[in-house]
Amino acid sequence: MALIVQKYGGTSVGTTERIQNVAERIIQFRDAGHDLVVVVSAMSGETNKLITLAKEISDPPTPREFDVLLSTGEQVTIALLAMALESRGYSARSYTGSQVHILTDSAHNKARILDIDNQYMRTDLDAGRVVIVAGFQGVDAKGNITTLGRGGSDTTAVALAAALKADECQIYTDVDGVYTTDPRIVAEARRLDKITFEEMLELASLGAKVLQIRAVEFASKYNVPLRVLSSFDEPGSQNSTLIAAEEEEDNKMEQALISGIAFNRDEAKLTLQGVPDQPGVAYKILGPVADANIEVDMIIQNMGADNNTTDFTFTVHRNDYPQAKEILNQLVTSLGAKEATFDNKIVKISMVGVGMRSHAGIASEMFQALAEEGINIKMIATSEIKISVVVDEKYLELAVRTLHSQFNLDEEAVS
Ligand code: ASP
Ligand code: MG
């Protein structure tokens, strides 16, 4: 018998029929003797509807009232789910975030959880009740309702699991796990049985949108095992991906070197050529970019051909591209550079795997595989468990497919 926190996302509770389905699944766990705390999102599309309503009245609405409004989506689903359980003869109680004292800071619309008082939930669990908690919301020290940012129910679930020292936090969604890459790009993409927190963070931040990044960070910090499963699978299905701390054996020779390939089409590349090379150039270029609140991802600085100048290249999110372009055009004059060049038809492709730590030569194998397909690499960045390249966006599919088969990601790792 275990204490399990389950989280059901918007599509899993998208209709009353789906909610009944969730109730049936919860009952199976109850009947198996487990204690359950269940976190739910708003029914799919509801949060967006609330945002539209608010904007019809006031754009932007005051953050406090916006949170009061947004938190109502989840209040609908907790009540409906509790009713579904009770009508089946199972005892359950629903709670808003503030009722179970999910204390957050006062940063409305993007609040962070500070503390959870698990006393309330314990009392119900001890009395044999399923505890149902509204995701995505909390309360600040002054009693104001707060929300945690889009996708925040994942974080609620992980935080509750950490506070209750649950055995596992199960995230039910519409996919049955984390894949080696996007199956829409590579049909052979395979569901991973297990992945480390670190790998998941790299994959998530690179665009594999299964889980809110903050939830994974939280789970990693408090060492909460996270399992991604589909609420559309038959109950009892073994399909899932476990996200957990790295173990000794994850680093064994037989282990797959690469866990997944992520890509990001949202970046753009900017270059300042022929900048007089002096101490402080990087700061002079990136200072104004940072001042404009633009986040920079990859950075490359090269010695220019004449040794007195440098070429400076970096990438930003495409939303920030027009503004970053303007800044660079001004810098050409103020820094006496040769010219600024731009490219927003790029894609960043990253291979991620803790196996890289103990194996040399993965980068060169990656570059060779791309070269054999005639794919030119425009930028490279590496970290301990990741190698990223920037290529022309027209090569996205070819590059991901090539790497997926080069590193045998379609095959089960031998163990
Ligand atoms: N309902 C909220 C949203 O759509 C929170 C969540 O689903 O996790 O962002
Ligand atoms: Mg969600």
CB 4 within 8 A of CB 34: yes
Nearest residue by C-alpha to atom 9 in ligand 1: 150
Residue 7 is labelled as binding a ligand: yes
- Name the amino acid, one letter, at 129: R
Residue 181 is labelled as binding a ligand: no
Q: Is residue 226, in this structure, part of any structural domain at all? A: no
Residue bearing the bigger pLDDT, 69 or 279: 69
Residues 10, 137, single domain; the answer is: yes
Q: What is the 3-state secondary structure (H, E, C) of the chain?
A: CCEEEEEECHHHHCCHHHHHHHHHHHHHHHHCCCEEEEEECCCCCHHHHHHHHHHHHCCCCCHHHHHHHHCHHHHHHHHHHHHHHHCCCCCEEEECCCCCCEEECCCCCCCCEEEECCHHHHHHHHCCCEEEEECCEEECCCCCEEECCCCCHHHHHHHHHHHHCCCEEEEEECCCCCECCCCCCCCCCCECCEEEHHHHHHHHHCCCCCCCHHHHHHHHHHCCCEEEEECCCCCCCCCCEEEECCCHHHHCCCCCCCCEEEEECCEEEEEEEEEECCCCHHHHHHHHHHHCCCCEEEEEEEECCCCCEEEEEEEEEHHHHHHHHHHHHHHHHHHCCCEEEEECCEEEEEEECHHHHHCCCHHHHHHHHHHHCCCCEEEEEEECCEEEEEEEHHHHHHHHHHHHHHCCCCCCCCC
Angle, CA 186 vertex, CA 258 and CA 244 arms, to 5°: 40
Residues 286, 401, single domain; the answer is: yes
Question: Quick one: pLDDT at residue 207?
Answer: 56
| pLDDT, average across residues 311-332 | 96
Q: What is this structure's pTM?
A: 0.88
Tell me how far apart the alpha carbons of residues 218 and 201 are, in angstroms, rounded to a whole number: 11
Residues 166, 301, single domain; the answer is: no
Q: Is residue 236, in this structure, part of any structural domain at all? A: no
Q: What is the 3-state secondary structure (H, E, C) of 60-98?
A: CCCHHHHHHHHCHHHHHHHHHHHHHHHCCCCCEEEECCC
Question: Quick one: pLDDT at residue 206?
Answer: 61
Ligand 1 pocket test, pick from 44, 136, 231 with the greatest ligand atom count within 8 Å of Cβ, gives 136
Residue 121 sits in a domain of what CATH number? 3.40.1160.10
Residue 135 is labelled as binding a ligand: no
Residues 281, 153, single domain; the answer is: no
Residue 120 is labelled as binding a ligand: no
Using pLDDT thresholds of 50, 70 and 90, give the confidence band for residue 264: very high
Residues 150, 285, single domain; the answer is: no
Q: Is residue 127, in this structure, part of any structural domain at all? A: yes
- Please determine, for residue 254, whether its predicted confidence score (pLDDT) is greater than 80: no
Atom of ligand 1 minimally distant from the CA of 41: 7
Residue 394 is labelled as binding a ligand: no
- Cα(150) to centroid of ligand 1, in Å? 5
User: Tens of pLDDT along 135-171?
Assistant: 999 999 999 999 999 999 999 999 999 999 999 999 9
Domain that holds residue 128: 3-174
Residues 162, 300, single domain; the answer is: no
- Nearest bound ligand to the CA of residue 209: 2
Last residue of a domain, one of 174, 209, 226: 174
- Please determine, for residue 396, whether its predicted confidence score (pLDDT) is greater than 80: yes
With pLDDT > 70 as the criterion, what percentage of the chain qualifies?
96
Residues 9, 120, single domain; the answer is: yes
Question: Quick one: pLDDT at residue 250?
Answer: 57
Which residue in 40, 166, 157 sits closest to 102, CA to CA? 157
| pLDDT, average across residues 360-365 | 93
- Cα(364) to centroid of ligand 1, in Å? 41
User: Tens of pLDDT along 277-318?
Assistant: 989 999 999 999 999 999 999 999 988 777 789 999 999 999
Last residue of a domain, one of 174, 202, 219: 174
Last residue of a domain, one of 174, 192, 209: 174
- Please determine, for residue 235, whether its predicted confidence score (pLDDT) is greater than 80: no
- Cα(69) to centroid of ligand 1, in Å? 13
Q: Is 47 in the pocket of ligand 1 (CB under 6 A)?
A: yes
Residues 21, 164, single domain; the answer is: yes
Tell me how far apart the alpha carbons of residues 281 and 287 are, in angstroms, rounded to a whole number: 10
| pLDDT, average across residues 193-199 | 94
User: Tens of pLDDT along 79-121?
Assistant: 999 999 999 999 999 999 999 999 999 999 999 999 999 999 9
- Nearest bound ligand to the CA of residue 45: 1
Q: Is residue 251, in this structure, part of any structural domain at all? A: no
Atom of ligand 1 minimally distant from the CA of 10: 7
Atom of ligand 1 minimally distant from the CA of 154: 8
Residues 7, 109, single domain; the answer is: yes
User: How many structural domains are present in the chain?
Assistant: 2
With pLDDT > 90 as the criterion, what percentage of the chain qualifies?
86
Residue 354 sits in a domain of what CATH number? 3.30.2130.10
- Please determine, for residue 414, whether its predicted confidence score (pLDDT) is greater than 80: no
Q: Is residue 107, in this structure, part of any structural domain at all? A: yes
Residue 386 is labelled as binding a ligand: no
Residues 24, 145, single domain; the answer is: yes
Ligand 1 pocket test, pick from 67, 96, 153 with the greatest ligand atom count within 8 Å of Cβ, gives 153
Q: Which long-range contacts (CB under 8 A, 24 or more apart) does 74-79 make?
A: 74/40, 74/41, 74/42, 74/134, 74/135, 74/136, 74/137, 74/153, 75/134, 76/42, 76/43, 76/46, 77/13, 77/19, 77/40, 77/41, 77/42, 77/43, 77/134, 78/40, 78/132, 78/133, 78/134
Q: Which residues contact 150 (CB under 8 A, 6 or more apart)?
A: 47, 212
Q: Is 136 in the pocket of ligand 1 (CB under 6 A)?
A: yes
Using pLDDT thresholds of 50, 70 and 90, give the confidence band for residue 411: confident
Q: Is 97 in the pocket of ligand 1 (CB under 6 A)?
A: no
Q: Is residue 268, in this structure, part of any structural domain at all? A: yes
Question: Quick one: pLDDT at residue 253?
Answer: 47
Ligand 1 pocket test, pick from 46, 47, 169 with the greatest ligand atom count within 8 Å of Cβ, gives 47
Q: Is residue 382, in this structure, part of any structural domain at all? A: yes
Q: Is residue 248, in this structure, part of any structural domain at all? A: no
Residues 155, 275, single domain; the answer is: no
